[in-house]
Structure 1
């Protein structure tokens, strides 16, 4: 029975290997490991790992993050962020707790989450908010095109 549980957990892990490029929205993924390049919105994940060779561009809301490579965009970490010496976060960072090794770099806006913000789940609510924003943008584009 323990092996069945391990298989289920392992099935919710996505690894983007070196030399691989992935673009889009990532949902229902408990752990994302980036060794290649990912340009995406990541919500509902527990763990984000960006390897030294990895690049993540976009928005991520996770419980825990381990950054050894490059993260560009908006990163919200509700529990612990580990920024390794080779890591770079460029953009907006919101975190509950953070550990930075010597050499780790952050460029942009940094905000510490209070306990209430850190406790908010990343499940359906952020995804729904993101979907509404996405739906508004195409509608706005159609209105602008019709006005032209």
Structure 2
């Protein structure tokens, strides 16, 4: 007898659209995409995607990150941090793995360490692993 299985739904992301301005901290157990402006800290138990129109004035703390926009602050990524060609980053970064496309601009310090402590709060990481 054939086994019918439904495909898994794609993992959706919280979205802050272009033209949206937020002042304050954001916490998500999953993924988040920022195309607007955030003044504060974003903490995610998944991936943070900062689109080319996105700006973060504050810290980014997550499992993985793709940065296409502007960041002025500290970025702490547990696994892979990717700077796309349009990225403009000013601050400190801490990650296990770093990928930088030609054209990306980074001013600051970088620490690459597989044992980066306190990258994200334990409850976010545990919840992300369960998903």
What's the CA shift for 1:2? Answer: 5.5
Q: Is the 8 A contact 1:44 1:123 kept in 2?
A: no
The answer to which structure has the higher helix fraction is: 1
CA distance in 1, matches of 2:41, 2:69: 18
Matches within 5 A, 1:1-148: 6=9, 9-10=11-12, 13-113=13-113, 115-117=114-116, 122-124=120-122
- The CA RMSD over aligned residues, in Å, is 2.4
Q: List gaps (5 residues or longer) in structure 1.
A: 127-148
1:40, 1:29 → 2: CA distance? 17
Name the TM-score, length of structure 1 as normaliser. Answer: 0.70
Give how far 1:17 is off. 0.7
**Distance 1:90-1:38 versus aligned 2 partners, 3 A rule:** same
Structure 1 residues 2 and 40: alpha-carbon distance in aligned structure 2, compared to 1, 3 A threshold: farther
Whichever of the two has the greater Rg, that structure is 1
Q: Deviations over 1:88-137 (max 9, x none)?
A: 11111111101111111110111112x2226x6623579xxxxxxxxxxx
Secondary structure of 2:53's partner? coil
Runs of 4+ in 1 over 4 A off after TM superposition: none
CA distance in 1 between partners of 2:44 and 2:34 (Å): 16
CA contact (8 A) 2:94 2:116 kept: no
Q: Which has the higher contact order (CA 8 A, sep 6+)?
A: 2
Gaps of 5+ in 2: 125-131
Q: TM-score, normalised by structure 2?
A: 0.79
